[in-house]
Structure formats: C-alpha cells, structure tokens
Amino acid sequence: MPIQTDPLTSEPYIRLPPPLSHIIVTPPRLTDPQTSSIISPASPSLASTDSRDHLTVPAADIAARTAALNDVAVYDWLESPPYPYSAADAASFVRGGFEDCRRIFTTLHSQPDGTNVRAWADGCPFRDIRDTSALAPTSKDGESDVAQAPLVGDVMLSRYTYYEIQPAESNERRVARERNAALEAGGEEVVWGIGFWLSSTHHKKGIMAIVVQTVLSEWAIPRMNLRVLMGSAFVGNAGSVAVMRKCGFKELQTIEKGSVLLAESRGGGKRDIVVLRWERPGISS
C-alpha cells in the first residue's frame, strides 16, 4: 500500500496489506506538551534551526519500548540495546531517531521546485511498528487510530557494518565501513543492513516479514534505490532467520564469536552470528 498521511496529525505512515492492515509503520514521534499534539520529523515547518528541547517523547512509547527491551524473549536476541533498558535509554534513542529522520525528510523537502531529478533518501524514516487494533482503554475521542496506535516493534535500515570481516576491531573492517558510509545516497554500491525487533505479544503472527517486505517495496527500493541488504542474527535466533528467509535473504555464513563484545549484564563475551544477504530482483551483484 502507498505511503499515507494521517489527516488529523499530518504524520506519514505505511500500512501493511490485508490481513495485517491493522499494523502500521511510522517515523519516531515527539509530542508538544502544551498541545499534546504529535510532532512528526516529516513536517516541512520544522526548520533545522528550531529548538526541540521543549518537545517530549510520548510516555506510552517510552513504556512500550522499555517493557519490550527488558523482555528476555526480545533483548536476548539483540546486540546493541543496553540491559537493563531504562526510560532514559528509550527517550535518548527516540530523540536520536527523530533527528535522523528529520535529516532524511529535510533533504527530500529541499529539492528545488520543478526539478526533474529526484533526490534519493539516505535511510528509511519509517521505523516504529504500531498496532491500531490494540488501542488502550484510555484512547482519546477525536484522535485517529494512527495517532493512538501503541508501539509494538522497531525496524531499522542503516549502512552495513561488515560482520564478515573479522576481527571486529580490524583496520580492514574500519576501512570497509568508512567507504560504505561515504557513498552518496542512492549509489549502486551502497550496502545496507537491517535490524528489527517485535514485542513478544506479537511474535509468531507473520507480522515482521510483511513489515520488512512492505518497507522495502514502499520506501527502500523506490526512494533509496536500495539494491543490497544484509542481515544478521545470533545463532539460535530461528525466528529472525525465518523472517529474513521468507523475505528472500540467502544465508551466507556463520561466524564464530562474530558479535561485538557484550556487556556483563548480557552475559559478556561474544556470540556466534549468522549473516544473510538480500539482493533486489533483476540486478547483478
């Protein structure tokens, strides 16, 4: 389904096709505490020089993110988030994501009027997975289901970090990452990586594979010119590997102790990872 806009908040979102049309993917949100209104990083009126210190991360989003990332069924399969995961961690992550998405949208909005050249987006701003069928009992009258939909997961596209180049601290990996990061948005040589999580309440419902497929078809391919997408998972994470295989990823290799060094609160040490690769149909690598 095409990108839609909530008429009440002007927030863009992607809705999954039936039978999962109750699931949407939005950019990260902030709220104006004076008006309780949603502030989207897509708003053209949100100038880069505007102070956003007065804006707050929605309390419901902080609560949902904190609950999920302290759930062993979720955090045990993730490499990056700290554990225990605090409300401050959640607020910092959302604010960082908001600014990154504002950068993406600002680049697209700054295209000269009448230009025939379409700017490529340097990333995907649609990251927050929400469930419009799971509205809280305290849902407010006069607000759309999109605005009130609770957060149930996250999907992120970022420049790939080259897990297959070991050790992680090697100069070879650093050079590969820096080269990939320096490539212009939309370039045919850019290699992207994907990461995702879903609240355990929404596991085993076929949601994440459709989220990934929809984000690819509605944004990553037409707006980023994404051609190669890499994914990875800890060995034993059958769910995430199954999601990627369902989306057309092919398993490349298993890397012993290939993760970053985990914090002691996460068990310490390094874990084995499996690396998978997706290529856009019709291109040659």
- Residue 134's pLDDT is 82
Integer CA distances (angstroms), 154 to 35, 194, 261, 273, in order: 26, 11, 23, 20
Give the DSSP per-residue string, 54-99: T-B--HHHHHHHHHHTTSHHHHTT-SSS-SSPPHHHHHHHHHHHHH
Q: Determine contact, residues 124/229, Cβ cutoff 8 Å.
A: no
**Section 64-80 average pLDDT:** 97
Reported confidence tier of residue 215, pLDDT bands at 50, 70, 90: very high
Closest by Cα among 57, 19, 62 to 38: 57
pLDDT at 283 over 80: no
Q: Where is mean pLDDT largest: 114-123, 166-175, 240-249?
A: 240-249
Closest by Cα among 168, 170, 194 to 275: 194
**Section 70-81 average pLDDT:** 96
Which residue in this structure is represented by tokens 């939909």? 149
Distance (Å, whole) CA 107 – CA 131: 29
Q: What is the pLDDT of residues 5-38, one digit of tens each?
A: 999 889 999 999 999 999 999 999 999 998 888 9
Angle, alpha carbons 184-121-95 (nearest 5°): 110
Distance (Å, whole) CA 123 – CA 105: 10
pLDDT at 141 over 70: no
Domains of the chain are: 4-279 (3.40.630.30)
- Residue 47's pLDDT is 62
Neighbour tally for 249: CB within 10 Å: 20
The neighbouring-strand residues paired with 26 are 128
Q: Is the pTM of this model over 0.85?
A: yes
**Section 41-65 average pLDDT:** 84
Map residue 131 onto helix, strand or coil. Answer: strand
